[in-house]
Amino acid sequence: AGGAAPAAAEAPTSFKVTLTAGGANKINAIKIIREILGLGLADAKAFVEGAPKVVKEGVDKPTADDLAKKIKDAGAEVKVEGS
């Protein structure tokens, strides 16, 4: 009756950060994506407008959480998934 994962399943060690939506203030989302990915303005704008897009993958949990916080603080929507 429980929905718990089997005890043998290991916690993920690698994570993927996905921008799911630019949010109400896309300018802030574009700024943070430029900062994180080192993109030019046009490329960052296209990235945000093309959401959902993977920002980073194969990063550890603290890095994923830090990136997610920066993106959320910019007003955008983000998802962190273990891989």
Which CATH number goes with the domain that contains 23?
Answer: 3.30.1390.10
- Does residue 4 sit within a domain? no
The predicted pLDDT at position 54 comes to 98
pTM surpassing 0.85? no
- Does residue 58 sit within a domain? yes
Choose among 15, 31, 27: nearest CA to 68: 15
Domain count, the chain: 1
The model's pLDDT over 6-62, given as tens digits with 9 standing for 90+, comes to 544 577 899 999 999 999 999 999 999 999 999 999 999 999 999 999 999 999 999
The predicted pLDDT at position 12 comes to 84
- Does residue 1 sit within a domain? no
CB count within 10 Å of CB 29 equals 26
Domain that holds residue 57: 15-82
- Does residue 10 sit within a domain? no
